[in-house]
Structure 1
């Protein structure tokens, strides 16, 4: 099974992917882990071809779940995927989640990615996930909706989850433990 999990920052893509991977015995490809290097070095900005090659290599075989919102990789991943899980939760719910996650990470000082910590000073950056989620919720929803409607992706089974209960039902279905 090949699954792509999409949605706005903070919606729970990584959590959903990890839960599905454990239940279905699949591996997770975290796009953020492929992108972020030490000290917030962005491969998509600094070496986009290498980033795309990493995604290409990670999705050549069968049995994966890709989690991430990088629309640049959609032509690669969506073409190969069988299922698209679209976590499309309401903006306020996403904001509660992303704020709680960001504050917990800032307080702990733990690395989000190797040698990338989310300290309190990062909370005020324009590209911080809190701001990104607030400013781009509607745009991300619209861009995913347009992509889902593209005939190039008609082969995908699209699971649009607008609530946590819907996401739990999709997870159960995909892992073979239908509720």
Structure 2
């Protein structure tokens, strides 16, 4: 377990889990949102995004933990991934976490990612680009898509781990504390 992708619907805690896992396994943490988003909520063009992603992956020959998965990045990430961890939490838990996180970010006005000036704002939260609308639309689609991908013969080289509660995720991380990170899992 040295090339790991963390997936799940928005609000599941992918970034936090990925940081903790990367630290425990002594791997490079790569946050896709940080690579994708430019200032003022502009997305990187595919070519630029792929270049940044490739550079991040190549800069981590000892291993990486990539948080998130965009359709356009599946081939690049999963061709090298040996493990995919799906944080498959209930809709109500994800919605609660998303609401808490988004409101805190809107009030604090801290930049969301290191490489852009983006901040949560009330206008976007109440618009058609709302992260809440996105979650309502994508949650059921993502569950179906991820379950199907786990069964796809193209991805049988990947170990899939499905964690269905924050307690399972904490126990998973805790178990890694006893693992020698220099040995192949």
Instruction: Could you tell me which runs of 5 or more consecutive residues in structure 1 were left unpaired when the two chains were aligned.
Output: none
Question: What is the alpha-carbon distance in structure 2 between the residues aligned to residue 165 and residue 69 of structure 1?
Answer: 23
Equivalence for 2:172: 170
C-alpha deviations, 1:23-81, integer Å up to 9, x for none?
221111100000001111101xxx11221222223223231000013121111111201
- Equivalent residue pairs, number: 175
- Provide TM-score, normalisation by structure 2: 0.88
Give the structure with the larger helix fraction.
Answer: 1
Q: Are the aligned partners of 1:8 and 1:69 in contact in 2 as well (CA < 8 Å)?
A: no
SS state at 2:149 partner: helix
Equivalence for 1:4: 5
CA RMSD after TM alignment:
1.7
Give the structure with the larger strand fraction.
Answer: 1
Instruction: Could you tell me which runs of 5 or more consecutive residues in structure 2 were left unpaired when the two chains were aligned.
Output: 181-185
Q: Are the aligned partners of 1:86 and 1:158 in contact in 2 as well (CA < 8 Å)?
A: yes
SS state at 2:112 partner: strand
SS state at 2:128 partner: coil
- Provide TM-score, normalisation by structure 1: 0.91
Q: Are the aligned partners of 2:27 and 2:62 in contact in 1 as well (CA < 8 Å)?
A: no
Equivalence for 1:141: 143
